[in-house]
Structure 1
Amino acid sequence: MLVLGPLVLPWAGVIVLAAWLAASTVHDRAGRRAGLPPGPHAWALALLALAAARLGFVLQYGREYASAPWAALDIRDGGWAAGWGLLAALLYVLALWLRRHPWRRPVALAAAVGAGLWLAGTGVLQLAQPALPAALPAWQGVALDARPVQLPALQGQPVVVNLWASWCPPCRREMPVLLRAQAEHPQVRFLWVNQGEAPETVIGFAAAHQLPQADVLLDTPSQLGALLGHRALPTTLFFNAQGELAAVRSGELSAATLAQHLALIAPAQALTKP
């Protein structure tokens, strides 16, 4: 995540924006060199690619969106199918070439630059990611039912660790999604680890939102977030049954993006809803 004061931006979004700005610049300059009037293709191509990427993800997780179709428009959940977006961009360029449109060369060049920068940026981002810990971190918290919970002792089952705070709007919005997933997938252990708040605040919030006391942990010094290197809230970490960190989602989860990440830590048949 890119942290700019109170603003926290996902690197993936920053890379997409940078790639589009570069592609748009190439598009405009190539068009001017060819003596063409200003054209809408930079915007049209980007919007088409984004719409196709979102549509591909929504179709893939149609069951999760079926109960709340309007949630498909909320892109804050970070659900995208990149392959669909690239395919849509390719088809757009191909259509211009088949029609021998005067903008075909500038658009093709801009699309190549944008796609190349996005692929390169995504690759660098993957290489720059810190090595995932081999096991659940050696951290112990106290649940609201006063029982201690040691993370390493949970190895043997998939574990989802949600770092949250009551003052965080996206944390509050994703609580019902996590609660439904816990009820639907009892073989997965869900933990809500509060970051930095007083016990009375956490107790009141958990009671109001019907969070299970045995699964809500206190972390007043925000030790776990610092230990894992994730201070942005909400952040959700997905550990498989071997205790390995398989995925991290920084930002709000929807039912679809939660299902996408759960599939990484448990076999598909084990995640089938009862």
Structure 2
Amino acid sequence: MMVSATALHMGPLMLPWQMVLLLTGLVLVYGAGRYFRQKQQWPEPSWRIFSDSLWTSFWVGLIAARLVFVLMHADLYLATPLDIIKIQDKGFHFYGGLIAGIGWFLWKNRSLANLPKAILITLFVAIQLCLNWGIQTVLPQQNQYPDLQFQNLQQQQVPLQHWVGKPTVINLWASWCPPCHREMPVLHQAQQDYPDIHFVMLNQGETTDTVQDYLRQHGFNFQHVLFDPQGDMATQMNMYGLPSTLFFNAQGQLVHRHMGELTQPMLRRYINDLSAPSSK
């Protein structure tokens, strides 16, 4: 098991921290509900409604979080509507989903006494806030270019500080990685659509011949291809998992990090933030 800034890794399974927080909260609220059931002698129908609604609230919240996010970025998703169902881009509005899930839970359990419901909701929200604060505080996060340099296709060493002066997108990838391959056309097109942004394809652990054969076979002509044979970038940025994408502004400050497959709308959303006043 490995812990990164964005997810909990258990072998091939990668759970984003927000998902871990939600599941932890649901399990603890379920346990607290069992306590109230015995303490207040809930009838069996009330307990069944409670336990069922707890898990359906998760799905209601998940769907609502996706819908709110898509509606907030409708201009990005209208061009590629099929990307709406590609939830692997992790485009969710956390608080929108939280409100919808809690609302569903309260409505389904409207026959229960108000005090236990208030305690359970408070417990769930407190878990989300406290654990999220703990993760952000304890886990190390690099917020600017690390002091690293990598070899390019011309066998020249290129320091990461070379990219300071323009917004830069650094993608950690490998040819054997299916989601890396699926997002390649999105990144390749973005390189043409955004000439004022550097797109750096930082290969993880493969040889020059392997990478060149892959790019040639699929017709990808990236301007900046670098090699990270030891995975130093992933270690420095605490990003264990492929694909991973890092978004730096022109000053070399990290604006966003994304672990997992990118869709075109999600990539455009991140790129828009690179030139926003808050990223300067």
* Match for residue 127 of structure 2 among 117, 126, 136: 117
1:191-229 alpha-carbon deviations (Å, 9 max, x no partner): 010010111110111123333343121222333333333
Q: Does 1:223 align with 2:232?
A: yes
**1:271: which partner in 2?**
none
SS, match of residue 45 in structure 1: helix
Paired residues of 2:106 and 2:117 also in contact (CA < 8 A): no
Q: Does 1:161 align with 2:167?
A: no
SS, match of residue 150 in structure 2: strand
Deviation at 1:18, TM superposition (A): 0.9
Letter in 2 for 1:64: L
* Match for residue 176 of structure 1 among 165, 185, 196: 185
* Match for residue 24 of structure 1 among 20, 23, 30: 30
**1:13: which partner in 2?**
19
1:218/1:21 CA distance change after superposition, 3 Å:
same
Q: Does 1:62 align with 2:71?
A: no
- Whole-angstrom CA distance in 1 between matches of 2:151 and 2:117: 57
Moved more, 100-109 or 246-255: 100-109
- Whole-angstrom CA distance in 2 between matches of 1:205 and 1:184: 23
Q: Which stretches in structure 2 are left out of the alignment for 5+ residues? A: 1-6
Q: TM-score, normalised by structure 1?
A: 0.85
- Whole-angstrom CA distance in 2 between matches of 1:200 and 1:142: 14
Q: TM-score, normalised by structure 2?
A: 0.83
* Match for residue 56 of structure 2 among 23, 32, 44: 44
SS, match of residue 87 in structure 1: helix
- Whole-angstrom CA distance in 2 between matches of 1:90 and 1:230: 32
Q: Which stretches in structure 1 are left out of the alignment for 5+ residues? A: 269-274
Q: Kindly, what percent of the aligned residue pairs are identical?
A: 33
Paired residues of 2:53 and 2:108 also in contact (CA < 8 A): no
1:229/1:35 CA distance change after superposition, 3 Å:
closer
Deviation at 1:147, TM superposition (A): 5.3
Q: Does 1:151 align with 2:160?
A: yes
Deviation at 1:16, TM superposition (A): 1.6
SS, match of residue 223 in structure 2: helix
In angstroms, what is the RMSD of aligned CA positions?
2.5
Deviation at 1:142, TM superposition (A): 3.0
